Structure 1
Amino acid sequence: MKHLPVISLARMKSGLFWRTFFLLSVLTTLSMAAWIGMISVVQREPQAQQISAQVISVVTITHAALTHSAPELRKELLFELVSNEGIRVLPLEPEDKVEPAPDNWLMPDIVAMVKDKLGEDTRFSARVNGVAGFWVSFKIDDDDYWLMLERERIRGLTGIQWLGWASLVSLLSLLGAALISNRINLPLARLTAAARAIAAGKPPEPLPETGPIEIIEANRSFNQMVDDLRQVESDRAVILAGISHDLRTPLARMQLEVEMAHLSDAAREGIQSDIAQMDAIIGQFLDYAKPTETASFASVDISALLADSAREAMRLPDVAVGTTIAADAHVMGNATDLKRVINNLIENARRYGKTEGGDLTEIDIGCHIKSVHGARRVYIDVQDHGPGVPDSQIEQLLKPFTRMDTARGQANGAGLGLAIVDRVLLRHGAELHLRNRDGGGLHIQIVMAAA
């Protein structure tokens, strides 16, 4: 099974989750801003009218009380206003230190309404002689007075209060957006994790078939796909076993009959060669179709494995092997499959790497460890000294049933050797690079993460 193009869970969260969260946050912020603007517009005039009416009422009542009270009782009346109502009345003196009226969004409307009722000469101040309050002037006969109201009696929501409420609403909105985004992306996170498990060769847990109809249908289809893949794997195992038995049994019987038949040595060797070639082709098909189980991966001493494969190749009469193998290079993988990969590469070099007019194939096997961006990587090199491959056709080498006979000489086989290598290495998370060797021949390099 090939790797599935799966987006990692972290990447998914940093993409769709935050995009959904951002859009919900923007929508909430704009809605809240529109709501605050609407409340401000709708509430401004009624609130200004209410405060203006209160100021006018207090000034009018105070003016009437002072005007109609006996002069000897005015002092007592002023004391009572201060102690019970929080209202202070002081004479307005020319030398009073007066600060401007409070600067807020309601003040212009309040000033206009109060002056409309009390007269255009009415003055307003936020602080008189260092005393803070809401100060309004009025006249009794020809005398001017200050009337001070406590700010709390006419104060609406301050900017800090608006900011506090807005911050609280924003925080709750963001928490709600995060919760909604998580709820929306949870099914996708489960689906991504299950797809990653399949890509890693592990059976995923069945996805819950609950929630919205779209999620139910997607999870049900995915679960059905997993069951179908499991059935395909089971059927393939049965088919592979059947191929091995049904094809190799007749070949073994033919081999026996050839041995017992009265044939010339040349005829017997030719038939035996054909039978061996058929058996090798069947072996290639089985190797290509056989899955690599990632659950069987363990630390493999690739240095020792390469040394063993090189020693076996040296026993062949038409092969000369040179080795440059670093010690103690370990990778994670299946030792049997990696041994098959190395043997396939050596066999490919033996078949196609003969120099023109020569009877000996020179093969160089190398292994070294290098750190790349802080990660240790193992580099495995297998090179021959043959004619090489045209650069435009190198990528074709990894395709099944492909043999570059025009460039590499005639050879027997189904053209699955490098395709098997590519398939096994793909499941090992390794990189396979093919290029022509300087000086002639093909250079095949495998790059794997060090264990």
Structure 2
Amino acid sequence: MRRPIDSLFGRLALLVVAVLMLSHFAWYALMRLERSQLQTRYAVEEATFLVDAVRQHVARTPDQPLPSRVKLVDPSSNDVPAANSNMPAPLERFVEDVRDRMPAGTQVRVGPPGGPPTLWVRAATDQNWIVVPVQPLRMPRSLDRTVLWLAIIFSFAVMAALFAAWALQQPLRSLAQAVTRFGRGLPVPPVPERGPRELRQLTHGFNQMVQEVARTEHDRAVMLAGVAHDLKTPLARLRLRAEMMDDAKTRDGVVRDVDSMTHIVEQFLVFAHDGGDRSEPVEVDAQCERVVRSYRAVAAGATTVQTELNAGPSFLLPAATLDRILSNLLDNAHAYGAPPVIVATARTSQGFTLSISDNGKGIAAQDLINASRPFVRLDPARGGNGHSGLGLAIVERLVRRAGGEWEIGNHGGRGLRVLMSFPFEVLPRAAAASENAW
């Protein structure tokens, strides 16, 4: 199962959300702290200003009444609050800041709790206590309007950042899909060169590489097809002349050699063919049964070919592609394997499977990696029997072109097995590949 966090977009999204959340949280905490300190500074400035104003009022116009909430209290009065050393930390800082703003030796106290907050100040030169109102020091609320605005800003920032991350990873995703198609041997249209400069350079280099590989592959296919096609005419004349020989033993030997060469030429032509298969799709189970029945009728010793067809009617493949896959693998199993040869299909949770296995000696583990390489014959003695080393290479190319994957190996020490896996949407993918190749 694919996890979203494994994708580039998922990791960019996680990084963006984490960074934005951390920055907004730090900003909010700093703002709350600064607001608290600002409130304390403002209260200190206000209290200091009021005390200075009362002193000037007493000194200049002692006969004028004071404001209602400002008063002078005799030091011997019982209303004078006692010095309190167990004040809350914010209030204690407030008293210390006010004391620092006053002349040396000034006494600063706060009014008794329960009433309006007041500040009591008396300097050495003051005859009475000066009582002025102060702003209540309230701690910032845990949830206020700032949190709402912060959530709105954070939401818009996350949406904008996710869109930017999505736009950044789209060119890379297109390039990754093109690389996957190129690795499967499917036609690869030019990838649009967009995104950052480094990504544009990478895409440009990939497009150039695909063009060069396609040009080289085309030149090789044209050369191979041309040589194979030119050989068909002299082979036909050679067979005709062999049929006219009087010596039956010599005639049969020459005919066998011509047939072997003809088979090699046909394999060359199939391998060189680079177009898509536009044949009608057929049910794989039914077609496998028909091919096996025909193979038993024409091939000596093919009666031991068995079928285990369980994929169902929804497993479809182009007819020509399926026929070539089956004919190459059955010929290979008949020539180098041992009976019984089993053709099996199945339906799994990921798609369909088609496998052909025999009960021969299989292939050595060190040779499996080269088994599907073109023109590689694991047994040099096989070259004289009409084999060019293209059978498995053709099968691999056909399977990948049809949108599937293949696996070759020895199964339980009972011979060679070629297992081909196709997704459920194999037919639409194969049709799309055919149109792109056309």
> What TM-score do the two structures reach when normalised by structure 1?
0.70
Q: What is the CA-CA distance between 1:442 and the residue it aligns to?
A: 3.3
Measured in 2, the distance between the counterparts of 1:169 and 1:376 equals 44
Structure 1 residues 433 and 104: CA distance shift in structure 2, 3 A: farther
Q: How many residues were matched structurally?
A: 407
Query: Match for residue 318 of structure 1?
Result: 301
User: What SS does the aligned partner of 1:400 have?
Assistant: coil
Q: Deviations for 1:105-143, whole angstroms, at most 9, x for unmatched residues? A: 9747624423x4374421136x73243x4x311249665
- For residue 67 of structure 2, the aligned residue among 63, 75, 78 is 78
Does the CA contact (< 8 Å) of 1:351 and 1:411 recur in 2?
A: no
Does the CA contact (< 8 Å) of 2:375 and 2:389 recur in 1?
A: yes
Which stretch of the first structure deviates more once superposed, 93-102 or 177-186?
A: 93-102
Matched, 1:384 2:358: yes
Does the CA contact (< 8 Å) of 2:368 and 2:408 recur in 1?
A: no
Structure 1 residues 206 and 51: CA distance shift in structure 2, 3 A: same
Query: Match for residue 234 of structure 2?
Result: 250
Structure 1 residues 174 and 386: CA distance shift in structure 2, 3 A: closer
Measured in 2, the distance between the counterparts of 1:381 and 1:197 equals 23
Matched, 1:422 2:396: yes
Q: What is the CA-CA distance between 1:289 and the residue it aligns to?
A: 3.6
Structure 1 residues 389 and 190: CA distance shift in structure 2, 3 A: closer
Query: Match for residue 448 of structure 1?
Result: 422
Letter of the 1:273 partner, please give it: R
Query: Match for residue 260 of structure 2?
Result: 277
Q: Percent identity?
A: 22
More strand by share: 1
Matched, 1:364 2:342: yes
Measured in 1, the distance between the counterparts of 2:138 and 2:280 equals 75
Query: Match for residue 287 of structure 1?
Result: 270
Measured in 1, the distance between the counterparts of 2:243 and 2:256 equals 13
Q: What is the CA-CA distance between 1:277 and the residue it aligns to?
A: 0.8
Q: What is the CA-CA distance between 1:311 and the residue it aligns to?
A: 0.2
Letter of the 1:368 partner, please give it: A
- For residue 60 of structure 1, the aligned residue among 31, 52, 58 is 52
Measured in 2, the distance between the counterparts of 1:237 and 1:29 equals 60
Q: What is the CA-CA distance between 1:159 and the residue it aligns to?
A: 8.5
Does the CA contact (< 8 Å) of 1:297 and 1:332 recur in 2?
A: no
Does the CA contact (< 8 Å) of 1:96 and 1:129 recur in 2?
A: no
Structure 1 residues 339 and 29: CA distance shift in structure 2, 3 A: same
Aligned residue runs from structure 1 range 3-402, under 5 A: 11-15=7-11, 17-18=12-13, 21=16, 29=23, 52-65=44-57, 69=61, 74=65, 77-79=66-68, 89=71, 93=79, 100=87, 103=90, 107=94, 110-114=97-101, 116-117=102-103, 119-124=105-110, 128-131=113-116, 133=117, 135-139=118-122, 143-144=128-129, 146-151=131-136, 178=162, 181-182=165-166, 184-196=168-180, 198=182, 201-204=186-189, 206-208=191-193, 213-229=197-213, 231-232=215-216, 234-235=218-219, 238-239=222-223, 241-260=225-244, 262-291=245-274, 293=276, 300-315=282-297, 316-320=299-303, 321-326=305-310, 328-331=312-315, 333-354=317-338, 361-369=339-347, 371=348, 375-391=349-365, 393-402=367-376
Which stretch of the first structure deviates more once superposed, 97-106 or 440-449?
A: 97-106
Root-mean-square deviation (CA), in Å? 4.8
Letter of the 2:233 partner, please give it: T
Measured in 1, the distance between the counterparts of 2:55 and 2:128 equals 12
Letter of the 1:382 partner, please give it: I
Q: Deviations for 1:383-421, whole angstroms, at most 9, x for unmatched residues? A: 334344445544443343444549999854122222322
Query: Match for residue 434 of structure 2?
Result: none
Extract unaligned runs of 5+ from structure 1: 1-7, 80-86, 355-360
Q: What is the CA-CA distance between 1:221 and the residue it aligns to?
A: 3.1
Structure 1 residues 162 and 88: CA distance shift in structure 2, 3 A: farther
User: What SS does the aligned partner of 1:122 have?
Assistant: strand
User: What SS does the aligned partner of 2:420 have?
Assistant: strand
Measured in 2, the distance between the counterparts of 1:252 and 1:120 equals 124
Q: Deviations for 1:124-171, whole angstroms, at most 9, x for unmatched residues? A: 36x73243x4x31124966545311335xx999999789758778766
Measured in 1, the distance between the counterparts of 2:138 and 2:156 equals 27
Structure 1 residues 443 and 177: CA distance shift in structure 2, 3 A: closer
Q: What is the CA-CA distance between 1:52 and the residue it aligns to?
A: 3.7
